[in-house]
């Protein structure tokens, strides 16, 4: 089994499980590469069947914390179309500098409530903002580029950069994968996804 | 008891690449899949009955029941591959085991236990394993067939992840703790089941993927990754202590 196949398998199950439980998006689990298969599966699912988990998804209750999103995301991020779809713009991904990446990660994190931890969806109010999509593309593609360098270049130096970038982007990584449409690269595949926070005690009781 | 799917399977025989040196291994693999898939129909029928008795809405019950038809079709589709490989779609059927009703739990809790075991665990692992096999398989009729089966398995897994949050919401603390204990048992069962089907000695040559022959060791790695990186975090996000349950499975192994 090659690495791509391994990743494709994991990615498929992650979309089914993480996509429904955490993202709460019902049958809307798109995948351009596999749209045929997933459409077949979607066709068997009633369109209103996802309402229950949507209501239960913890992220659904997270309020927007900043009305001026575009201002907050002013990091000189290139337009998403220059970075995505993944694989066609490797040079652009390599050109994302640390300052832009750090600015984007920090700005995106600022959209979240202070104690949100790792989340899988940005507040609804933030979703339409084009600056959010641009910064998410920066986060995802910079990490993808880091992985590529680790695999193909100088592992020691690149590993340190990858570790640092992973730490920086950890709170927003999975939400950005959602915004970016789960591109094929290693960032949005379920390699070592962070463990979601525990349910609060009050909720459990 | 014999499972004889020849009449259903023969019209469904696909055109396969000619790899005579791998035909025997491929026949064994697809015969096993035929038997397992066909037997799974009983599981979904029993689960649908249990859901009906517990008072779940009729549309969900019927959706679950439709999965049984899909599993039977998968059995025939796999049997068609056996026929195309020069074999016969006849094999010893699995002995039917009693479906657990979980009388120690409330009806909804009992349904949830089985939904977790069937859809959120077993079928979610199936999505990974079939998805990986499909990703490697060259284009052709067998890949198309695998895609059809995979699409259905996605639906079966998705069903569980859709239903579970609603069922879970009705459980109190004590019932949740019981559920976590059951989850450890279900994890142990899943591990035993998967490892028994993923042989470490299965190391087919690279061209074997064209007939659905995979490395057992690689598949085991993917199985564990699916549990720890997908299933456990997803259950944790529902407030279930799945990491602890995965650790505690060792006591039930």
Query: Which chain A residues are Cβ-neighbours of B59 within 8 angstroms?
Result: 46, 49
- CATH of segment(s) B2-252: 1.20.1260
Tally DSSP H helices, then E strands, for chain B. Answer: 10, 2
Nearest chain A alpha carbon to B225: A10
| Higher local confidence (pLDDT), A189 or A188 | A188
pTM as predicted: 0.62
> How much of chain A exceeds pLDDT 90, in percent?
7
Question: A134-181: per-residue pLDDT in tens?
Answer: 999 999 889 878 877 765 666 667 777 877 887 788 778 767 877 876
User: What does the alpha-carbon distance between residue B36 and residue B33 come to, in Å, rounded to a whole number?
Assistant: 5
* CB neighbourhood size of B91 (10 A): 19
pLDDT surpassing 90 at residue A202:
no
The pLDDT, as a whole number, for residue A183 is 66
Residue B225 touches chain A, beta carbons under 8 Å: yes
Nearest chain B alpha carbon to A58: B237
Extract the tokens encoding B196.
Answer: 């028994």
Residue A4 touches chain B, beta carbons under 8 Å: yes
Question: B155-201: per-residue pLDDT in tens?
Answer: 899 899 989 999 999 899 999 999 999 999 999 888 888 887 776 76
User: What does the alpha-carbon distance between residue B174 and residue B249 come to, in Å, rounded to a whole number?
Assistant: 20
User: Quick one: average pLDDT of B139-164?
Assistant: 89
From B223, B226, B222, B220, select the one nearest B199 (Cα to Cα): B220
User: What does the alpha-carbon distance between residue B182 and residue B241 come to, in Å, rounded to a whole number?
Assistant: 11
How many Å lie between the alpha carbon of B152 and the closest alpha carbon of chain A? 6
Cβ distance B135 to A8 less than 8 Å, yes or no, reads yes
Residue A46 touches chain B, beta carbons under 8 Å: yes
pLDDT surpassing 70 at residue B48:
yes
Extract the tokens encoding B91.
Answer: 């094999």
- The answer to whether B230 and B157 have CB atoms below 8 angstroms apart is no
Residue A18 touches chain B, beta carbons under 8 Å: yes
The pLDDT, as a whole number, for residue A90 is 66
Q: Any idea where the domains of chain B sit in the sequence? A: 2-252
B226 burial (CB, 10 Å; 0-12 / 13-18 / 19+) is buried
Q: Mean pLDDT of all residues in chain B?
A: 90
Instruction: Identify from A3, A6, A17 which residue to disrupt to test chain B contact, counting B C-beta atoms within 10 A and taking the largest count.
Output: A17
User: What does the alpha-carbon distance between residue B128 and residue B6 come to, in Å, rounded to a whole number?
Assistant: 29
Question: A17-57: per-residue pLDDT in tens?
Answer: 876 544 332 222 233 333 333 333 333 333 333 332 222 22
Cβ distance A9 to B226 less than 8 Å, yes or no, reads yes
User: What does the alpha-carbon distance between residue B61 and residue B42 come to, in Å, rounded to a whole number?
Assistant: 14
| Higher local confidence (pLDDT), B3 or A90 | B3
Cβ distance B132 to A8 less than 8 Å, yes or no, reads yes
Lowest mean pLDDT among A90-94, A179-183, A201-205, B193-197: A201-205
User: What does the alpha-carbon distance between residue B209 and residue B135 come to, in Å, rounded to a whole number?
Assistant: 10
User: Quick one: average pLDDT of B19-28?
Assistant: 88
Query: Which chain B residues are Cβ-neighbours of A4 within 8 angstroms?
Result: 135
pLDDT surpassing 90 at residue B108:
yes
> For residue A86, what pLDDT band results from cuts at 50, 70 and 90?
low
Residue A33 touches chain B, beta carbons under 8 Å: no
């Amino acid at each position: 089994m090659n690495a791509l196949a391994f990743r494709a398998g994991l990615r498929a199950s992650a979309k089914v499980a993480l996509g429904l439980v955490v993202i709460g998006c019902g049958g809307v689990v798109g995948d351009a590469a596999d749209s045929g298969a997933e459409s077949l599966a979607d066709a068997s699912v009633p369109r209103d069947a996802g309402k229950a988990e949507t209501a239960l998804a913890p992220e659904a209750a997270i309020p927007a914390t900043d009305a001026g999103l575009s201002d907050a995301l002013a990091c000189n991020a290139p337009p998403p179309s220059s970075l995505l779809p993944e694989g066609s713009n490797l040079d652009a991904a390599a050109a994302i500098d640390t300052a832009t990446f750090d600015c984007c990660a920090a700005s995106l994190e600022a959209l979240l409530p202070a104690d949100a931890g790792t989340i899988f969806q940005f507040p609804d109010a933030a979703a339409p903002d084009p600056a959010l999509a641009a910064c998410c593309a920066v986060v995802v593609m910079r990490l993808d580029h880091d992985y590529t360098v680790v695999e193909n270049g100088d592992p020691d130096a690149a590993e340190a950069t990858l570790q640092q970038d992973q730490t920086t982007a950890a709170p927003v990584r999975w939400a950005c994968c959602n915004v970016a449409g789960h591109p094929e690269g290693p960032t949005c595949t379920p390699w070592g996804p962070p463990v979601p926070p525990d349910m609060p005690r009050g909720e459990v009781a | 008891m014999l499972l004889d799917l020849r009449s259903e399977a023969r019209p469904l025989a696909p055109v396969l690449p000619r790899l005579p040196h791998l035909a025997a291994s491929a026949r064994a693999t697809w015969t096993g899949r035929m038997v397992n898939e066909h037997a799974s129909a009983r599981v979904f029928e029993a689960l649908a009955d249990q859901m009906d008795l517990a008072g779940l809405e009729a549309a969900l019950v019927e959706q679950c029941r439709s999965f049984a038809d899909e599993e039977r079709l998968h059995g025939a589709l796999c049997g068609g591959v056996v026929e195309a490989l020069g074999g016969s779609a006849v094999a010893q059927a699995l002995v039917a085991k009693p479906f657990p009703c979980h009388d120690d739990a409330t009806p909804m809790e009992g349904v949830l236990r089985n939904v977790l075991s069937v859809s959120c665990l077993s079928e979610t692992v199936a999505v990974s394993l079939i998805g990986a096999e499909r990703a490697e398989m060259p284009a052709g009729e067998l890949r198309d067939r695998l895609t059809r089966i995979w699409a259905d398995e996605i639906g079966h897994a998705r069903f569980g992840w859709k239903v579970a949050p609603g069922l879970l919401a009705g459980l109190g603390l004590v019932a949740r703790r019981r559920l976590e204990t059951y989850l450890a048992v279900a994890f142990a069962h899943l591990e035993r089941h998967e490892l028994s089907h993923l042989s470490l000695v299965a190391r087919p040559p690279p061209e074997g993927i064209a007939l659905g022959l995979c490395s057992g060791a690689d598949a085991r790695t993917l199985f564990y990754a699916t549990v720890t990186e997908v299933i456990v975090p997803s259950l944790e996000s529902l407030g279930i202590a799945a990491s602890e349950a995965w650790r505690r499975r060792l006591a039930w192994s």
